[in-house]
Chain A
Amino acid sequence: EDQVTQSPEALRLQEGESSSLNCSYTVSGLRGLFWYRQDPGKGPEFLFTLYSAGEEKEKERLKATLTKKESFLHITAPKPEDSATYLCAVQHSSASKIIFGSGTRLSIRP
């Protein structure tokens, strides 16, 4: 069964303290792995799509990487405005269904 597990559930960092969020996935045929950011009371906001192992994408202080079993979202020198829940999701190669993980709640202290 297709599955997505994110860790840690919550992460508190000091401003400027770099770290990584993990997304482990099981899917029989990956069409794409997605990272979204969700602020309280809002819908998720698209960040990245990764398609194959070894692929990397960057946006400002965020960098997403992909292996055959997991993805990492690296955050470099975070700022308080990076505080949000980060969601990972996968799409099966033959289906429209997208499966989300439970997210990592990231809090950056000034």
Chain B
Amino acid sequence: ETGVTQSPTHLIKTRGQQVTLRCSSQSGHNTVSWYQQALGQGPQFIFQYYREEENGRGNFPPRFSGLQFPNYSSELNVNALELDDSALYLCASSPLLAIDNEQFFGPGTRLTVL
């Protein structure tokens, strides 16, 4: 069983640009959540997708948007990048019948905005 994968591993953008990050969920998982983790901080919830619909959103502006596809893979799009968007972006998937409501995290995408 493959785990959660994310691409790219690292990305450098300039302020004002747009970026798309990708996540492939673990097999059998139909829920995906995205998090932003600044250096030295815990992950901050951006939003969650369940069966291709947004199922909850954290305190992030509308320029953070997402998609979930029929195969349960997902994208995070960020428009009009700002310097403070520099962070590790984590994707986490959950199975339909999670024993302990656990999430399985990918390795993350390190985004640097210059």
Determine the chain B residues whose CB is within 8 A of the CB of A45 once the complex forms. 105
Bound CA span A45–B100, Å: 13
Query: Interface range on chain A: under 10, 10 to 19, 20 to 34, or 35 or more?
Result: 20 to 34
Name the prevailing secondary structure of the A interface residues: strand
Residue on B nearest A103 in the bound complex, by CB:
B42
Contact A101 B58 (CB under 8 A): no
Number of residues on chain B facing chain A (CB within 8 A): 26
A103 to B56, CA, bound (A): 23
B62 close to chain A: CB less than 8 A? no
Q: A95-B56, A96-B56 are in contact. Are A34 and B102 (CB under 8 A)?
A: yes
In the complex, identify which listed stretch (B11-19, B43-51, B66-74, B79-87) lies at the interface while the others stay far away: B43-51
- Report yes or no: A44 in contact with B90, Cβ–Cβ below 8 A: yes
